[in-house]
Structure 1
Amino acid sequence: MIEVEHLHKTFEVRQGGLWRRTVRRHEAVRDLSFRVGAGEIVGYLGPNGAGKSTTIKVLTGLLVPDGGEVWVGGLVPWRDRRRHVARLGAVFGQRTTLWWDLPVRDSLDLLRHVYRVPAPRFRENLRAFTELLELGPFLQTPARALSLGQRMRADLAAALLHDPQLLFLDEPTVGLDVVAKERIREFVRHINAERGVTVLLTTHDLGDVERLARRVMIIDHGRLLYDGGLGQLQARYGSARELVVDFEVAPDQADVPGLELLEVQGVRARYAFSGAAAGPIAQVTAAAPVRDLTVREPDIEATVRRIYEGGLLQGALGQGA
C-alpha cells in the first residue's frame, strides 16, 4: 500500500532580528525508507519534531519531497493528487472535517457529494457507522455543540464514508476518557478486519498502539530507527516481566533462586524475570503455598520513554523485523 524509498525533506528556518537574519536548513526527514502492506495497522512513533508530520504530509500529497520516491497504492501522491485523495481518509485529533454550524448528518451528506459516493452506498455506510459508533443521539447536533468524544466519532465516520483503502490516524483518542477511547479503538479494529482498511497510526497514547498495532516504526531526527514487531521491541528494549504472587501466609523468606525479588508487602511479593513464565511460576509455587499469581508484561510507554531518553536505538537501524 505504501512504499517510501530514501525520502528526504528539508525546510529553511529564518532566524535573527529586524536588521540581520540568517537562514538555517532543517532536515525534517533524512533518507527514510519503509513499506506498509495492504491491511496492516502500523504505529508510527516518535517524539515531537521527529519527522512524523512531515512524512504524513508527503504521503497525503500536501508536501513535495526534496528527494526520494513515494508510492501510495501505486500513485505518487503529489503528482496524481485528485485520484490519490479519493482513496484515503484522515482523522487528525485537533482538527475536524465537519462543518462547524451544520448538524453532523448534513456534514456527512455534503461529504457524500464531495467524494461522489453513490446514494445506496452512502446509506449503507451511514447505517453501519451510526450503529458501530453510536452516532444516533447526535446526528442532528451541530458540530460546535459536540463533545470531543462525539466529534471524534463523527470525524471517523466522515473519513470512511467513501470507502478509502488507507486511513491516516493522528492522535485519534487525544483528550478522551477511557470509554470513548475503547469505542474508537474497537471501531478501528473492525474496519481493518472487516473492510481491509490499511491504517497508519501516529499517537502519543501508547495504549492505542498496544491495542491496535502489531508493528511499530520509530522515527527520530528524521531517520527510521526501528521497524518491527511490538513484542520484539518489548523483548529487546523493555524492562523485565513481573510475577506478582500472593502467598497463603506472609513468607519468612521470599527469595526464590533465579528470580529477582523486587518487593514484599505482607503476603504479596513481586519478582522480575525474563523469558517464559512457566519456569518462574513453578519455582514460586514449589517454594510455598500460593493463593494467586499474575504475570505483568512490560509497559510499552516506559519502554519507548527509555528508548528516547537513553538513545537505546542509536545504531539499531535495520535491526527490526
Structure 2
Amino acid sequence: MFEIRMTENESGQRVDRFLRKYLKEYTLGDIYKLFRKNKIKLNGKRVKENQMLSEGDLLQLYVEKPEAEAGQDLPVPKPGKSLDVIFEDENIIIVNKPAGLLTHPDKPVDSDTLIDRALYHIYKKKGTVQSETFSPAVCNRLDRNTGGIVMVAKNYKTLKAVNSTIRERGVQKLYLCIVAGKMEKSGEIKAFIKKDEESNTSSIQDTYKGDGKEIHTIFRTLGVSDTIMELGMRFSLLEVELVTGRSHQIRAHLASLGHPLAGDLKYGERDINECFRKQYGLKHQFLYAYKVAFREVHQDIGYLKGKNFVSRLPENFAKIAGRLFGMEGI
C-alpha cells in the first residue's frame, strides 16, 4: 500500500481520471477492478470512480507501487530559443508565438515547439516542470504559420479555469489580417464549418447540413489600400474577433466570402500570394493574434478580469501594413 497527497494540480479531477494518468501501466479495466475490490480509498474511506479530488486529500492505493511513477519529474527539457514573454506569474505565461513555430509537436522529431520552449523556460526558473500528474499546457492553439498570443497554464487549476472562461466566451481574442477586396466598415458573419481531417482543410456551409459546426466572426475594417496595379484590386486591413474558435475559422470563412487572406497558401489565391511574396517578402498568411482581453472570468483567475494583453506586429508585417495602409506602430 502507498499514499498520494493531492495538490492544487489534482484538485477538481475525478479519481478515476487521476489514476489513469498516475497508474500508467494499468489499463482502464484494471483501474475499475481496483475500485470494485475496494483497493482504492480516499481519506481512509471507500471512494467512487467519479468522486472529485480536493487539495489535501489523501489517496490510499492497496497495490504495489509502480516502478516508474507518474509523480517523477519529466526529463530535463532540451535547451531551446527563448520565449517572447508578454506576461508571467505563478499561474500562467502569456507569450508571443512566432509564425512558423508549431504550438505542439506533430511528430516525434519536432523538437522545437512553443510548448518545448515554455517547458524549458519554467525549468530554468523552478528546476522542475511538472507535479504529480500535470505538465504545463497550452490554453489556446495557433496554426503553425499564424503568429501571436498564446496562453500557457502552469498548473491544472489555472488550465481548467482558463479553458472554462474561453468556453464561456469570457476571453476576447482579436486578430489582425489583410484580405483581398474592400470590406465594409464592420460586420458580423455566421456560418457552419466542416473540417476534413485527412486534408487538414475546412469548408464553409451557409446552412446547417448535419455535420458542420457553427462559427461566428466579427470584423472591423481598419484601413483600405489603394489599388495594387499588378492585381487590379484593393486590400483591407481587418481586426477580427473570434466569437467561436474553430480550426482555420478566419481563413476559411473570409475566403468563402471572396476575401481570402494575403499569403494564405491553403485558402488564398495564387496570384495574390505570388504578388505579396515578390513585393513584400510575405511567405505565409498575413494573420496575427495580437490581443487577448479577459472579460468575465472563472473565479480561480479572477485577478485577470479586465486585463488586456497586446503584442505588436512582427517587423515584416508592420512594414507591409505601413506601406499599404499608412499605419505605423501597430
Relative to the length of structure 2, the TM-score reads 0.29
The structure with the greater share of residues assigned to helix is 1
Tell me the TM-score normalised to structure 1 length.
0.29
